[in-house]
Chain A
Amino acid sequence: MRQRSLIAITAALAAGALTLTACGSRDSGDKSSSGSGGTTVTIGVDAPLTGDLSALGLGIKNSADLAVKTANKDKTVSGVTFKLVAKDDQAQASSGQQNASAFVADKSVLGVVGPLNSSVAQSMQKVFDAAKLVEVSPANTSPDLTQGTNWQTKKVRPYKSYFRTATTDAIQGPFAAEYIYNTAKKKKVFVIDDKKTYGAGLAATFTQEFKKLGGTVVGTQHINPDTKDFSSVATQVKNSGAEAVYYGGEYPQAGPLSKQIKAAGANIPLAGGDGIFDPTFIKLAGAKSTGDLATSVGAPVESLPSAKKFVEDYKAGGYSEEYGAYGGYSYDSTWAIIQAVKSVVDANNGKLPSDARAKVTAAMQNVSFDGVTGKVSFDEFGDATNKQLTVYAVKNGAWAAVKSGTFTG
């Protein structure tokens, strides 16, 4: 009897242990990803990858790369593998146009993210539009790119293939003017620009609103962006009695300009747009840049729950450069192209049609998704429907958000 009991117990123990062991290993199976197949779709990126503005350009490229990798990993578009090809425009319109032609010539390209500079965008729009190749800029803010040169009196969309996720200077300039006049209580400004499409346009929208509010523009000046000696204009600012400087341009010039204005004895804030909203500005402007201001597109990343995953994934992606001011917008621009491709493929029995470029461009108009920067969709001009702006100030050697606004008109 004892022997029979022992055998029974041993058998029960062994069976139980084996059963539990099997349960324990249930979830440890290797989930290897299967290879992706089907069609390869190229998404182009055009941005300044070298030169003064490369900090912003590389953030755009990396963020687009993250979107492509995410889409491939998650098989967002069944049967389609996305590939990223990035080209360097060096912030030059001529380079941008050459890149646009190269993208058009590559039949696998179904959409392009970029560029950074509005002046570069002007040289690319026509090339893309002729080929019905969709372009989504994460950073261009010049209103005429979407609303025509007479946008202040009559809005006319010049190119149906051009979209952007960033908001425009039609809002950015006035928002800065409102902040400087009403909140910072600066009633006299000196306005400077770099004569480029973006800088001159932004300075103009700022000036118009500042004057409307009752402010006085005590001086205006243009600078040559190819130089870094602004001592002459700094002296003019000092002698003008201005309480603030508004600069339409980008950080490679804005940083030294701010430094030289302070060195000339005018301890007043320099304010600018998204073109100066970069840590490099603070490095170039030095310790006296505390109090300088910048508006930038979108809400601060930390206030966007949707951006949290992007920030984590970007960090995990091991990119050596910061995603910068336009990272979230670049991810969303890329994702908008991916979504447009998806809708075209879904509507064509899972395959790309022969006129895929035209169809993707048409589909972009109806793209709508919750992106890194909030709801992503486009209005009848190709502008982002989500129009948020934030004023940042330099505090303790870094940009800190001081006011956010949403355009709901």
Chain B
Amino acid sequence: MSGVGPVEPGEGTRARDLAEDGSPPLPRPRGRFGQWYDRHRRGALAAAAATVLLAAGGSVYLTRPHAPAPAPPPAAPYPSQVTDVTYVEPVATPKGVRPRSFSFAVALSVESGPPVTVRSISQPYPGISLTSEPLAPFTARAGGARNVVITMHVTDCRKAPESAGLPFLDVTLRNTRAIEAHSYILGQRYARNLSTALQGICKHRSR
């Protein structure tokens, strides 16, 4: 032979070479697995088929176009966007409060989302201090309104405004999303009542 054909097998290298006496070769000695396989050939083949099937199925499953992952839950709203503070009416000043004080009620409500903590309530004018009942910090939950009594104390009539057209309260709010300072402009009724109270307390002001 010339060329590059396969190398011919030598003696004893073929699986079914005859024995020297021409008798068929003895069965190859079988290991435990071989013996088990001989006994359970059909079952083994079925198991192998099932394995291949699972592998193929898995491959198809993994390579199929996937539906987009479910969107993450929406972030909690900013507290100022779900919290409302509205003017209710003048109320009696709590006992024990210093003279030159006046009180009014506001309704604080949270429309939706996680609870909102009122960290502080203040007002912008010089010459006036403010306390609230309940005292900040306090928490309001979605769905209900709670009354908050605001008491203002005039510390210096020369600095306090005689009147204000559009007064507001500054409220610091916090929820799981953010902490925000937000102004609530309480409207004309509040403006009128505030001006009346200030003018009553500071009758003899000199500016």
Interface centre among B81, B85, B191 (most CB of A within 10 A): B81
Residue-wise, chain B 40-64 has the 8 Å CB interface mask toward A (1 for contact) of 0010011011001100110011011
- Knowing A5-B42, A21-B60, A305-B74, the reply to whether A409 touches B81 (Cβ < 8 A) is no
Query: In the complex the two chains form, is A174's CB within 8 Å of B165's CB?
Result: yes
Residue on A nearest B187 in the bound complex, by CB: A409
Chain A interface mostly: helix
Interface size on A, residues (CB 8 A): 40
Closest chain B CB from A171 CB (angstroms): 7
Residue numbers in B under 8 Å from A304 (CB-CB): 78, 81
Given A405-B183, A406-B184, A175 contacting B52 (CB threshold 8 A): no
Q: Are B166 and A178 in contact (CB under 8 A)?
A: yes
Say yes or no for A24: interface residue by CB 8 A criterion: yes
**Interface hub of B49, B65, B180 (most chain A Cβ within 10 A):** B49
Tell whether B34 is near chain A: CB-to-CB under 8 Å.
no
How far, in whole Å, are A378 and B48 apart by their CA atoms in the complex? 72
CA distance A183 to B67 in the complex (A): 52
A-B pairs with beta carbons under 8 A, tally: 125
Once A5-B42, A305-B75, A404-B183 are accepted as A-B contacts, the answer to whether A13 and B64 lie under 8 Å apart by CB is no
Q: Are A213 and B161 in contact (CB under 8 A)?
A: yes
Instruction: Name A14-60 residues within 8 Å CB distance of B.
Output: 16-17, 20-21, 23-25, 27-28
Q: Does A263 contact B (CB under 8 A)?
A: no
Knowing A183-B124, A208-B165, A299-B81, the reply to whether A408 touches B187 (Cβ < 8 A) is yes
Whether the pair A406, B183 counts as a contact (CB closer than 8 A) is yes
A24 & B60 in contact (Cβ 8 Å cutoff): yes
Which B48-107 residues have C-beta < 8 A from chain A? 48-49, 52-53, 56-57, 60-61, 63-65, 67, 74-75, 77-78, 80-81, 84-87
Minimal beta-carbon separation of B205 from chain A (angstroms): 11
Interface residues of B, dominant DSSP: mixed
Selected from A16, A171, A406, the residue in CB contact (under 8 A) with B166 is: A171
> CB-CB < 8 A to B182: which residues of A?
404-406
Residue from A12, A27, A209, A305 having most chain B Cβ neighbours under 10 A? A305
**Separation in Å of the B183 CB from the closest CB of chain A?**
3
CB distance from A305 to the nearest CB of B (A): 5
**Number of B residues with CB within 8 Å of any CB on chain A:** 50
Contact of A374 with B by CB under 8 A: yes
Contact B185 A405, beta carbon cutoff 8 Å: yes
A405 to B125, CA, bound (A): 16
CB-CB contacts of B183-207 with A at 8 A, as 1s and 0s? 1111111110000000000000001
- Residues on A with beta carbons closer than 8 Å to the beta carbon of B168: 175, 178, 405
Q: Is the CB of A305 within 8 A of B190?
A: no
**Are B45 and A212 neighbours in the complex by a CB distance under 8 Å?**
no
Residue B164 at the chain A interface, CB threshold 8 Å: yes
Chain B stretch 94-152: residues in CB contact (< 8 A) with chain A? 124-126
Asked if A319 is at the interface (CB within 8 A of a chain B CB), the reply is no
The answer to whether A408 touches B60, judged by C-beta atoms less than 8 angstroms apart, is no
Using A21-B60, A178-B167, A214-B207 as known contacts, list a sample of 15 further A-B pairs with CB atoms less than 8 Å apart, ordered by residue number in A: A5-B46, A20-B60, A23-B64, A24-B65, A28-B65, A182-B124, A208-B165, A209-B164, A209-B165, A213-B161, A213-B164, A214-B162, A305-B74, A403-B183, A408-B184
A-B contact pairs, 30 of them (CB 8 A): A1-B42, A9-B46, A9-B48, A9-B49, A13-B52, A13-B56, A16-B53, A17-B60, A23-B60, A23-B64, A24-B60, A24-B61, A27-B65, A27-B67, A209-B165, A209-B166, A212-B162, A303-B78, A374-B81, A387-B185, A403-B183, A405-B168, A405-B183, A405-B184, A405-B185, A406-B80, A406-B84, A407-B185, A408-B187, A409-B185
Nearest 10 interchain pairs by C-beta: A409-B187, A24-B64, A405-B183, A174-B166, A9-B49, A182-B124, A20-B60, A407-B185, A303-B78, A209-B165
